[in-house]
């Protein structure tokens, strides 16, 4: 066998040539991507700047003065979005887990529950969010049972109702992906049905669907912006208030930027995690 | 519980899957400290029998007695019965999201409500005995197949089951890993455990079993000491099965 260091020292001329060629190719592709980036940026700028209404659009949407002036107000709104998001996240976690578990039960006695959750997930995945917001956001207060309901709360409830249907389906897929032998092993140790689900099945199921769950969370973050239609004074509504006073839409652009900033760390985290899982799976295959 | 009763007694066990009759009336008694090997071709009903005894499969007819108690009675609490029976599966079925030690101690902590310290002390003791104490904090996929199967055996015996079911526990292992698992089973036999095992390892059945049962088309075709069933079978079907097996190997 080669001594490890010995092996390092002698590199054949063929290998040196190959390395040189690979380096050249890398440099070339970097240069090509830079050039194409510049060309495309120039093209976009050229088309925009030559269009007749560009000056007006720039003033209406990208006016730095208005971007800065609307910032404190919109930022206050984003905090409302974050609050609603946090509450909806907890609500969704609980409701979707219940739905997923009910949908994977098999006992005859639980048939009505299974039917209810099947109907629930089917209906709420089909309904547009905006329709849910109008129906629940104005319908429930209209019943006048609970007195006046906080608009933020109503918004959070709507988000929870819709997203629970999606997340429940993702969780169900995860639960069904766990091999039945895991359940058999847990039951044969004497664990009850509930213990098996809680200790053995769910932790594995959630791990399997983490990338999909994170993706749903990112989507949820942006859909929280819709709660303004039921009257919650969030970032979108604050931007609207600013626009109503100034006739300038830059506040909406600022709100959009805030939403992107809010989701960006999570988008990156999702990508990183998915890549990590992929790497690990490929490594397992190699062993 | 009846202390004088045999550990396991099967009376007329039947089980079908659709039109396919897998078990057609099995009568079998396993006494304390006895090691019984069940042999037979694939599809002869070995695994179904194991699953039926552990109540993972509901029988169509017949009774199963564990220490004299009829566990096929639907009023019996399945979880309590299963906690008394240790099962080791062909594919180990360790929980991949738990460390080796947590796998091994799970039943003690959750079912028997031992404290974590108590359960872990006992778990470490057994892991040390099988020589993989240093892997206690590792996850199952970091172990070899033989090590995983030995961990699965420890998991099954940690809560002192009165009966141990081994379902073809070496069938999924590389040949060079089979030995270490069988050695552990031999140790359990010497420790006086009551074991019912389905196996394809005829040599091991000959060495370890007190009795060998040949299962053929859902019935017990032959039942006797290993020397007789494997060395001098009385039935034509057993002779056919063994000669086919030895011609291949």
Give per-residue pLDDT as tens, B16-51.
998 999 999 999 999 999 999 999 988 888 999 999
| Cα–Cα–Cα angle for B99, B102, B105, rounded to 5 degrees | 150
A204–B94: do the CB atoms touch at under 8 Å? Answer: no
Nearest CB neighbour to B83, from listed A190, A199, A284: A190
pLDDT at A287 over 80: no
Measured in angstroms, the CA of B214 and the nearest CA of chain A are apart by: 25
CB contact at 8 A, A237 and A78: no
Tell me which residues of chain B, numbers 127 to 146, contact chain A at a CB-CB cutoff of 8 Å: 141
- Chain B residues whose beta carbon lies within 8 Å of the beta carbon of residue A189: 82-83, 106-107, 111, 155-156, 159
pLDDT at A267: 85
> Can you give the pLDDT at residue B200?
87
Inter-chain touch B110–A195, beta carbons under 8 Å: yes
The per-residue pLDDT for range B142-167, each reduced to its tens digit, is 999 999 999 999 999 998 899 999 99
Q: Give dist(CA A178, CA A203) in Å, integer.
A: 10
Answer whether residue A182 shows pLDDT above 50. yes
The candidate with the shortest Cα–Cα distance to A136, out of A220, A232, A213, A215, is A232
Q: How many CA atoms lie within 13 A of B90 on its CB side?
A: 13
Among the partner residues B86, B89, B110, nearest to A181 by beta-carbon distance:
B89
Using a CB-CB cut-off of 8 Å, the residues of chain B touching A203 are 97
Query: Over 50: is that where the pLDDT of A163 sits?
Result: yes
How many residues can be counted in chain B? 249
Q: What is the mean pLDDT of chain A?
A: 89
Task: State phi, psi for A240 to the nearest 5 degrees.
Answer: -65, -40
Predicted pLDDT at B43: 83
Residues in B touching A197 (Cβ below 8 Å): none
Q: What is the mean pLDDT of residues A106-120?
A: 88
| Nearest in space to B49 (alpha carbons), one of B213, B159, B185, B194 | B213
pLDDT at site A283: 65
Is B3's pLDDT higher than 70? no
What is the average per-residue pLDDT within A41-70? 90
What residue in A sits closest to B84 (Cα-Cα)? A190
CA atoms within 13 A on the CB side of A128: 4
Q: What does the DSSP assignment read for A80-124?
A: HHHHHHHHHHHHHHHHHHHHHHHHH---GGGHHHHHHHHHHHHHH
Cβ of A207 under 8 Å from any chain B Cβ?
Answer: yes
- Averaged pLDDT, A81-89: 94
Question: What pLDDT was estimated at residue A87?
Answer: 94
Q: Which residues of A touch B82 (CB under 8 A)?
A: 187-190
More confident residue, B43 or A236: A236
Q: Which residues pair with B70 in a beta bridge?
A: B65
Q: Mean pLDDT over residues A117-135, rounded?
A: 93
Of A66-75, A137-146, B185-194, least confident by mean pLDDT is A137-146
Question: Which has the higher per-residue pLDDT, A16 or A1?
Answer: A16
Using CB atoms, which residue from A182, A189, A204 is nearest to B107?
A189
- For residue A221, give the 3-state DSSP assignment: helix
> What are the pLDDT digits (tens) for B57-66?
999 999 999 9
- Backbone dihedral region of A12: left (phi > 0), alpha (psi from -120 to 50 degrees) or beta? beta
Q: Cβ separation of A189 and B141 shorter than 8 Å?
A: no
Contact A188 B85 (CB under 8 A): yes
DSSP state of A228: G
Percent of chain B with pLDDT over 70: 98
Element (H, E) at A166: helix A151-177
Chain A residues close to B97, C-beta within 8 Å: 203-204, 207
Q: Tokens 């092993």, residue?
A: A185
The reply to whether B76 touches chain A by the CB within 8 Å rule is: no
DSSP string, chain B: --TTS-SEEEEEEEEEETTEEEEEEEEEEE-TT-EEEEE--TTSSHHHHHHHHTTSS--SEEEEEETTEETTSTTS-HHHHHHHEEEE-TT----TTS-HHHHHHHHHHHTS---HHHHHHHHHHHHHHTT-GGGTTS-GGGS-HHHHHHHHHHHHHTT--SEEEEESTTTTS-HHHHHHHHHHHHHHHHTT--EEEE-S-HHHHHHH-SEEEEEETTEEEEEE-HIIIIIS-SSHHHHHHHHHHHHH-
User: Mean pLDDT of all residues in chain B?
Assistant: 91
A9 has pLDDT over 90? no
Q: Are strands B35-39 and B195-198 parallel, antiparallel or unpaired?
A: parallel
pLDDT greater at residue B200 or residue A22: A22
Q: Could you give the percent of chain A with pLDDT greater than 70?
A: 95
pLDDT of A7 over the 80 cut: no
Structural contact between residues A250 and A63, judged by C-beta atoms closer than 8 angstroms? yes
**Contact residues for B47 (Cβ-Cβ < 8 A; gap 6+):** B90, B167, B168, B198
At A286, the pLDDT band (50, 70, 90 cuts) reads very low
B97 touches chain A (CB under 8 A): yes
Say if the Cβ atoms of B106 and A199 lie within 8 Å: yes
Asked if the model's pLDDT at residue B116 lies above 90, the reply is: yes
The greatest distance separating any two alpha carbons of chain A, rounded to the nearest whole angstrom, comes to: 85
**Which burial class, exposed, middle or buried, applies to A228 when counting CB atoms under 10 A from its CB (0-12, 13-18, 19+)?**
buried
Mean pLDDT, residues B86-107? 93
- Span A71-97, mean pLDDT? 94
For residue A5, pLDDT over 60 is answered with no
Closest to B211 (Cα-Cα) out of B39, B46, B37: B37
Touching A: B residues 135-194, CB under 8 Å = 141, 155-156, 159
Percent of chain A predicted with pLDDT > 90? 63
Q: Above 70 in pLDDT, residue A142?
A: yes
A280 shares contact with chain B (CB less than 8 Å): no
Residue A88 has pLDDT above 90, yes or no: yes
Asked if B45 and B218 count as a contact pair (C-beta separation under 8 A), the reply is yes
Q: How confident is the model at residue A8 (pLDDT cuts 50, 70, 90)?
A: low
Q: Establish, for the pair of chains A and B, how many residue pairs have beta carbons separated by less than 8 Å.
A: 58
> Looking at the partner chain, which of A185, A191, A284 has a beta carbon nearest the beta carbon of B141?
A284
**What pLDDT does A284 receive?**
56
DSSP per residue over A178-205, as a string? S-HHHHHHHHHTT--HHHIIIIIIHHHH
- B74 has a chain A CB within 8 A of its CB: no
Q: What is the 3-state secondary structure (H, E, C) of A247-266?
A: CCCHHHHHHHHHHHHHHHHH
pLDDT at A4: 54
Q: How many CB atoms lie within 10 A of CB B227?
A: 10
> Does A3 score more than 60 pLDDT?
no
Q: Are B44 and B216 in contact (CB under 8 A)?
A: yes
């Amino acid at each position: 066998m080669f001594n490890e260091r010995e092996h390092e020292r002698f590199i054949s001329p063929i290998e040196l040539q190959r390395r040189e060629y690979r380096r050249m190719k890398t440099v070339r592709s970097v240069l090509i991507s830079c050039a194409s980036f510049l060309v495309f940026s120039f093209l976009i700028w050229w088309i925009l700047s030559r269009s007749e209404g560009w000056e007006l659009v720039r003033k209406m949407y990208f006016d730095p003065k208005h971007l800065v002036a609307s910032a404190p107000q919109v930022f206050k709104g984003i905090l409302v979005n974050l609050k609603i998001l946090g509450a909806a996240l907890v609500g969704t976690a609980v409701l979707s887990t219940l739905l997923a578990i009910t949908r994977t039960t098999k006992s005859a006695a639980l048939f009505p529950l299974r039917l209810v959750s099947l109907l629930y997930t089917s209906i709420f995945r089909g309904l547009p969010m905006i329709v849910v917001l109008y129906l629940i956001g104005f319908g429930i207060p209209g019943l006048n049972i609970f007195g006046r309901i906080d608009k933020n709360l109503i918004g959070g409830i709507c988000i929870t109702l819709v997203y629970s249907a999606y997340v429940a389906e993702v969780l169900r897929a995860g639960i069904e992906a766990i091999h039945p032998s895991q359940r058999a092993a847990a039951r044969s140790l004497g664990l009850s049905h509930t213990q098996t689900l809680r200790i053995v099945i769910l932790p594995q199921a959630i791990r399997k669907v983490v990338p999909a769950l994170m993706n749903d969370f990112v989507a949820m973050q942006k859909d929280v912006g819709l709660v303004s239609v039921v009257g919650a004074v969030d970032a979108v509504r604050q931007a609207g208030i600013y626009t109503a006073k100034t006739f300038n839409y830059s506040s909406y652009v600022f709100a959009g930027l805030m939403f992107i900033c809010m989701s960006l760390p999570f988008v990156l985290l999702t990508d990183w995690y998915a890549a990590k899982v992929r790497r690990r799976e490929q490594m397992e295959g190699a062993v | 519980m009846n202390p004088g009763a045999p550990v396991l007694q099967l009376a007329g066990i039947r089980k079908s899957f659709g039109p396919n009759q897998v078990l057609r009336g099995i009568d079998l008694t396993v006494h304390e400290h006895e090691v019984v090997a069940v042999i037979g071709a694939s599809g002869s009903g070995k695994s179904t029998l194991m699953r039926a005894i552990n109540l993972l499969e509901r029988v169509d007819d017949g009774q199963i007695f564990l220490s004299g108690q009829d566990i096929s009675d639907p009023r019996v609490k399945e979880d309590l019965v299963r906690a008394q029976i240790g099962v080791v599966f062909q594919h180990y079925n360790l929980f991949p999201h738990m460390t080796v030690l947590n796998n091994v101690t799970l039943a003690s902590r959750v079912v028997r409500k031992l404290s974590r310290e108590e359960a872990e002390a006992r778990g470490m003791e057994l892991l040390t005995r099988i020589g993989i104490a240093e892997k206690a904090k590792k996850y199952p996929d970091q172990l070899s197949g033989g090590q995983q199967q030995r961990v699965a055996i420890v998991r099954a015996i940690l809560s002192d089951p009165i009966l141990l079911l081994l379902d073809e526990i070496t069938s999924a292992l590389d040949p060079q890993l089979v030995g270490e698992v069988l050695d552990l089973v031999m140790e359990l036999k010497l420790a006086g455990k009551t074991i019912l095992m389905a196996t394809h390892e005829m040599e091991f059945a000959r060495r370890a079993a007190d009795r060998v049962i040949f299962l053929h088309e859902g019935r017990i075709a032959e039942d006797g000491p290993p020397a007789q069933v494997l060395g001098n079978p009385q039935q034509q079907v057993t002779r056919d099965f063994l000669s086919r097996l030895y011609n291949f190997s």
